Amino acid sequence: MRVLVTGGAGFIGSHVADRLTADGHDVLLLDALLPQAHAGAPPAWVQGHELVHGDVRDAELLGRLLPGMDAVCHQAAMVGHGVDPGDAPDYVAHNDLGTAVLLTAMHNAGVHRLVLAGSMVVYGEGRYDCPEHGVVRPGPRAQEDLDAGRYEPTCPLCGRELVPGLVPEDAPLDPRSTYAATKVAQEHLAGAWARQTAGSVWSLRYHNVYGPRMPRDTPYAGVASLFRSALERGEAPRVLEDGRQRRDFVHVTDVAAMNVAALSTEPPGPGVNAVNVCSGEPHTVGELAAALAAAMDGPPPVIAGGARPGDVRHVVADPAKAAAVLGVRAATTFAEGVTRFARDPMRAPAGSSAGA
Active site residues: 179
Sign of torsion over alpha carbons 154, 241, 245, 185: positive
How big is the chain by its Cα radius of gyration, in Å? 20
Helices 223-232 and 285-295 meet at what angle, rounded to 10? Answer: 30
Length of the chain in residues, anyone? 356
Q: What span, in angstroms and rounded, lies between the C-alpha atoms of 82 and 60?
A: 30
Beta bridge partner(s), residue 317: 167
Sign of torsion over alpha carbons 313, 319, 320, 324: positive
Cβ neighbours around 148 below 10 Å, total: 10
